[in-house]
Amino acid sequence: MARRRQIYEGKAKILYEGPEPGTLIQYFKDDATAFNAQKRGTISGKGVLNNRISEHIFTSLATIGVPTHFIRRLNMREQLIRQCEIVPIEVVIRNVAAGSLSKRLGIEEGTQLPRTIIEYYYKDDALGDPMIADEHIACFGWASQDEMNDIADMAIRVNDFMCGMFAAIGIRLVDFKLEFGRVWDGDYSRIILADEISPDGCRLWDMKSNEKLDKDRFRQDLGGEAEAYQEVARRLGLLREDDEFAVLDLDSHRKKRGK
Ligand code: UDP
């Protein structure tokens, strides 16, 4: 088979040219980074789990009418997606204080917020993804006002849906990051949900124990990150004893670690 053309390599994913014009293949790596890539490592099996978790969430969102770039999963680490023009804004939705919000404003981690907060960050690694306001987005033309209205509406719908989905499996959705893209139809464009939704970009806490089931395990050197991602997939009903994920063999890994 001819070697596929690589379009882009990010910190956790690689994008390849897709089989049809207007499509791409999104490959999920095991690489993990934190603190603007100052900390690097790998989480064994993460790519396989994130591919599956993100597929599940994106297909569920499509059933409630949220347009996404997801077309179908191709194999353990790859999914076929619609090519889009990424809006250079990271959208963070917060339900509970944690991470940079706690640090910046001195609000104790775990404080339930009286209302959901949406924040915007400018996607620029060299600048360390600075927080921005609507004013900056309008001033520098990163997205139009109509696009920002669509993005905020979709972010709230995604949050409502995901809060319920995770609550049903005993997980608190503390905060998460979304990215959006633009697809063109002649002279008109519309906004769709892009990138991925996985424990890499969400804070997920067990409702009973408050145990962290997300990338904070890696950021904070808590250990057990692969097991945490697997637990999220398991609770979502995405793991079975006999399926392809058995290949991850995380249980024997866990036993070896004496847990
Ligand atoms: N997040 C992300 N990518 C980023 C920054 C943040 O996926 O580049 C996610 C992060 O996993 C968390 C949420 O967005 O679920 C809020 O992150 P925060 O602003 O608290 O930043 P952090 O503490 O991760 O630096």
Pocket test for ligand 1, best of 11, 39, 100, 129 (most atoms within 8 A of CB): 100
**Amino acid, res. 83:** Q
Question: Does 36 fall in a domain?
Answer: yes
Q: Is the CB of 87 under 6 A from ligand 1?
A: no
Q: Is the CB of 92 under 6 A from ligand 1?
A: yes
Dihedral (CA of 236, 241, 246, 252) sign = positive
pLDDT of residue 173: 99
Task: Say which DSSP state 93 is in.
Answer: E
Question: Does 236 fall in a domain?
Answer: yes
Q: Tell me, yes or no, whether 18 and 70 share the same domain.
A: yes
pLDDT of residue 108: 98
Write the CATH number for 31: 3.30.200.20
pLDDT of residue 247: 47
Q: Tell me, yes or no, whether 148 and 233 share the same domain.
A: no
Report d(CA 30, CA 181) in Å as an integer.
24
Spell out the long-range contacts of 243-252 with Cβ–Cβ below 8 A and sequence spacing 24 or more: 244/76, 245/45, 245/48, 245/49, 245/52, 248/44, 248/45, 248/48, 248/49, 250/44, 250/45, 250/226
Query: Within 10 Å of residue 8's Cβ, how many Cβ atoms?
Result: 11
Question: Does 249 fall in a domain?
Answer: no
Q: Is the CB of 176 under 6 A from ligand 1?
A: yes
Q: Is the CB of 212 under 6 A from ligand 1?
A: no
pLDDT of residue 245: 52
Q: Tell me, yes or no, whether 14 and 121 share the same domain.
A: no
Report d(CA 240, CA 233) in Å as an integer.
10
Contact present, 239 and 233 (Cβ < 8 Å): yes
DSSP 35-59: TTTTEEEE-TTHHHHHHHHHHHHHH
All residues at 6 or more sequence positions from 187 whose CB lies less than 8 Å from its CB, including other chains: none
What is the block-wise mean pLDDT of the chain (259 residues), using blocks of 10 residues? Answer: 86 98 98 95 98 98 98 98 98 99 98 98 97 98 98 98 98 99 96 98 98 98 97 95 53 50
All residues at 6 or more sequence positions from 215 whose CB lies less than 8 Å from its CB, including other chains: 32, 34, 199, 200, 201, 225
Note down the domain range covering 237. 6-84+224-243
pLDDT of residue 3: 74
Q: Tell me the Cα Rg of the chain.
A: 18
Contact present, 226 and 214 (Cβ < 8 Å): no
Report d(CA 148, CA 134) in Å as an integer.
8
Question: Does 255 fall in a domain?
Answer: no
Q: Is the CB of 100 under 6 A from ligand 1?
A: yes
Q: Give me the number of domains the chain comprises.
A: 2
Q: Tell me, yes or no, whether 165 and 94 share the same domain.
A: yes
Q: Measure CA 30 to chain center.
A: 14
All residues at 6 or more sequence positions from 26 whose CB lies less than 8 Å from its CB, including other chains: 13, 14, 15, 78, 79, 80, 81, 196
Pocket test for ligand 1, best of 92, 95, 111 (most atoms within 8 A of CB): 92
Structure tokens at 7: 């379009």
Q: Is the CB of 217 under 6 A from ligand 1?
A: no
Contact present, 184 and 191 (Cβ < 8 Å): no
Spell out the long-range contacts of 127-135 with Cβ–Cβ below 8 A and sequence spacing 24 or more: 128/36, 129/36, 129/90, 132/89
Question: Does 248 fall in a domain?
Answer: no
